[in-house]
Structure 1
Amino acid sequence: MTSLDKPTDHGTTDQGSPDQDADSRAVTEAALFEAFGGVRGMVETVAPGLLFVTIFTINKDLHMSAIAALAVSLVLVVVRLVMKDTVKHAFSGVFGVAFGVVFAMMTGNAKDFYLPGMLYTLGLALAYIITAIAGVPLIGLILGPVFKENLSWRTRNPGRKSAYTKASWAWGLILLAKCAILFPLYWWADTTQFGWVLIALKIPPFLLAVWLTWVFLAKAPAPIDVFAEMEAAEKAEKEREAERRQA
């Protein structure tokens, strides 16, 4: 067992000072903001669908609505490229919109524009729950690299593993609840009604899940910076090598 895998007392240490707690919460907030895209990420998530349902509500033109939604998602990617910002959230939006456009064009049913996103949400909900049950919570796999702890939380930081497990359950159940509302409406409601309900359910469940994740992680032990540990180990090895050469 290497030094990076050995269990530590991170899960059982006493609470830090108020300043340390504040720093930990600030780091958690920053990491969540980075991982989930922040305000701009939410805009990129909502804007294409909002434009689609707005145009379709006005003129019931599927082609115009689909082209407008795809165009605005591409514009958002270009804006990020121009600003030399990360494009992962914008690109995911483009792919989602593109799949929606293809489905809607193939079936001729404007409501099918939303179907790929709904299926993705359902799959993501199941992934959160299944990985939480399996002991490898998905939210930990997502946030581990952001906190520079990678998978150290699995064996070395049981308090954080517990927090990630709770957060994954929260995400999974919230997304399942969202699906429980949307899938029946997909069959019963007309396209305009369904579209506006879906837009209304874009941000609130997401914010609730992010907030619960923050609550769980803010109370958890601090992450173990494995990158710093590896750098320290490498530096110590170089120093020992230099001492052997001088001897």
Structure 2
Amino acid sequence: MGGKGQDDRPSDTEERKHTGLAALADEDFSVYEAIGGWRGMVESLLPGLVFLVVFLVTGNLAWTVVASGILALVQLLLRLLQRQSFLGALTGLLGVGICLVSAWLSKDARNYYLPGFLINSFWILVLGGSLVARVPGIGALVEYVRQPVLSGFRAWLNSWRSDRALLRAYARVTLVWILVFIIRLVVQVPLYLAGLVGLLGAARLVLGVPLFALAIWISWLMIRDPFHAFHTKADLVDAGHDGDGGVRG
């Protein structure tokens, strides 16, 4: 009788699962989990696919925006009915909404893809700046997800940056993601300028989830060994301090 509440709670393993680049911080990393499973794949691909198909079939921007908007609202309602994160659901709707508003206000279907160009450019600058500052952006993200800090930020930063192998791996992975964003722009911007909406939409789909999955798998292969070596050593040091404290007490 009293077991229902306990059974309904997510297990510790489920609570530790992350999606996106944050999944690199998980001990049991999985590409499938990183892209959000089958649902994450569908929710990532469907908005762009619906926009592209409806526009190519009808040639009518208004119908395309309406159909895509309805789909975004349905996805939001499904997430809320299944008691998923409201913030996550709202973020997804906001992202699609910005793209649709960009296309609608400009009366140009190409501009559905314009916010994506701006986002990719933004991350190229941020990650490139992080390398110049010798604080690889992907490394900072992974380490923060693994151990969020509200105080002692400098000590936290110096701890993982002091490991040369780990720092080098994080720098290389950050370069991988800069390359991902550059590839997207190099392929898509010429299609945008040429007004080839069909090819642009297809390129966006291919360079979305599939490229992300490949890049995050390569990222994990690159950081796996130094990541485990560093954190195993750090955990042993922490355990030693705890043990010393217990003896002294």
TM-score (norm 1): 0.72
Cα distance change of structure 1 residues 123 and 228 upon mapping to structure 2, 3 Å threshold: farther
Is residue 167 from structure 1 mapped to residue 173 from structure 2 by the alignment?
yes
Preserved contact between residue 136 and residue 174 of structure 2 (Cα < 8 Å) = yes
Preserved contact between residue 80 and residue 86 of structure 1 (Cα < 8 Å) = yes
Shift of 1:192: 2.6
Provide the residue aligned with 2:41 in structure 1: 42
> Separation in 1 of the partners of 2:246 and 2:85?
35
Provide the residue aligned with 1:178 in structure 2: 184
Shift of 1:100: 1.1
For residue 224 of structure 1, the aligned residue among 231, 243, 246 is 231
User: Which stretch of structure 1 is more off in the superposition, 150-159 or 190-199?
Assistant: 150-159
Provide the residue aligned with 2:67 in structure 1: 68
- Where in structure 2 are there 5+ consecutive unaligned residues? 1-23, 150-155
> Separation in 1 of the partners of 2:162 and 2:85?
31
Provide the residue aligned with 1:9 in structure 2: none
Preserved contact between residue 25 and residue 146 of structure 2 (Cα < 8 Å) = no
Query: One-letter code of the match for 1:29?
Result: F
User: Which stretch of structure 1 is more off in the superposition, 175-184 or 66-75?
Assistant: 66-75
Preserved contact between residue 41 and residue 89 of structure 1 (Cα < 8 Å) = no
Preserved contact between residue 35 and residue 209 of structure 2 (Cα < 8 Å) = no
SS of 1:135's equivalent in the other structure is: coil
> Separation in 1 of the partners of 2:66 and 2:236?
47
Provide the residue aligned with 1:131 in structure 2: 130
- Which one scores higher on RCO, CA 8 angstroms, separation ≥ 6? 1
- Where in structure 1 are there 5+ consecutive unaligned residues? 1-23
Query: One-letter code of the match for 1:104?
Result: A
For residue 196 of structure 1, the aligned residue among 183, 191, 202 is 202
Cα distance change of structure 1 residues 101 and 26 upon mapping to structure 2, 3 Å threshold: closer
Query: One-letter code of the match for 1:195?
Result: G
> Separation in 2 of the partners of 1:149 and 1:163?
21
Provide the residue aligned with 2:163 in structure 1: 157
Provide the residue aligned with 1:214 in structure 2: 220
User: RMSD of the TM alignment (CA)?
Assistant: 3.4
